[in-house]
Amino acid sequence: MNEHLSDLALDELLAQGTSNAHVDGCADCRAKLETRKAQAQASKAAFAYARTKARVSAQVVPSPWRWIAVLVTPFALVGLLWVAIQKNPSDGERLKGAASIDFVTRDDITVTEVPAGTRLKLKIGTAGFAHARVVAVDDGGHSEQLWPETNGDDKLPGTGVVTLPREFEATPGPVTVQVTLWNEHIESGTTVARRLNISP
């Protein structure tokens, strides 16, 4: 006696609409095949079958908005990049971090109090800005420009945290040093200040 056909083989016969010698001679396999035919016909008669078949076999037409989006997206990205560059103009990459000013000795030690006569330099946290003006103001209201020197270039000698090349001598009495930083327009810059106490 031949083995019965598997469910897969019966499904293939049903899909192809062909006959099989074993099924023709086997009452069990013929009954299974007839049951599958009845189930398939009942499924085709169901309302959901027609809708599903129409959806699956329908030709998908891309929306015209899709092509517009494909064409416009690169231009929009370029526009956003241009706006970002215009909003933060700088020479090179803009660095993170707050603007700062520190007084440092020749040994690169940060100080807030020194004896008169100490030679100091200024260490500036540029916060990504390229230009600076540094002014020292004593308690009497007298001011001295420390950077740039007279008729000098106000462009900073680097980015990140830089030490200005000019050295100055601390004179007796407290002084407040103020640094104003900017890129192309001083109005869009920032200002920070620090006080230095100088003992006689």
So what's the pLDDT on residue 94?
Answer: 45
Considering the domain architecture, whether residues 121 and 190 belong to the same structural domain is answered as: yes
Structural domain includes residue 51: yes
- Tens of pLDDT along the chain (200 residues)? 457 888 888 888 878 877 788 888 888 888 888 888 888 777 777 767 667 777 766 666 666 666 676 677 777 777 777 666 555 544 444 445 688 999 999 888 999 899 989 999 999 999 889 999 999 898 888 888 888 888 888 899 888 899 998 898 888 888 899 999 998 777 778 888 888 888 87
Q: Which domain holds residue 20?
A: 7-57
**Residue 27 in domain:** yes
Residue 1 lies in a domain: no
Give how many domains the chain has, as a whole number: 3
pLDDT at 82: 66
Q: Which contacts (CB < 8 Å, 24+ apart) does range 189-193 have? A: 189/129, 189/131, 190/99, 190/127, 190/129, 191/99, 192/98, 192/99, 192/100, 192/101, 193/101
Q: Does residue 2 sit within a domain?
A: no
pLDDT given at position 85: 59
Q: Which CATH number does the domain housing residue 115 bear? A: 2.60.40.1930
Please tell me whether residues 109 and 185 are part of one structural domain: yes
- Whether 185 and 114 share a structural domain: yes
> Residue 188: what pLDDT?
74
Judge if 115 and 195 occupy the same domain. yes
113 in a domain, yes or no?
yes
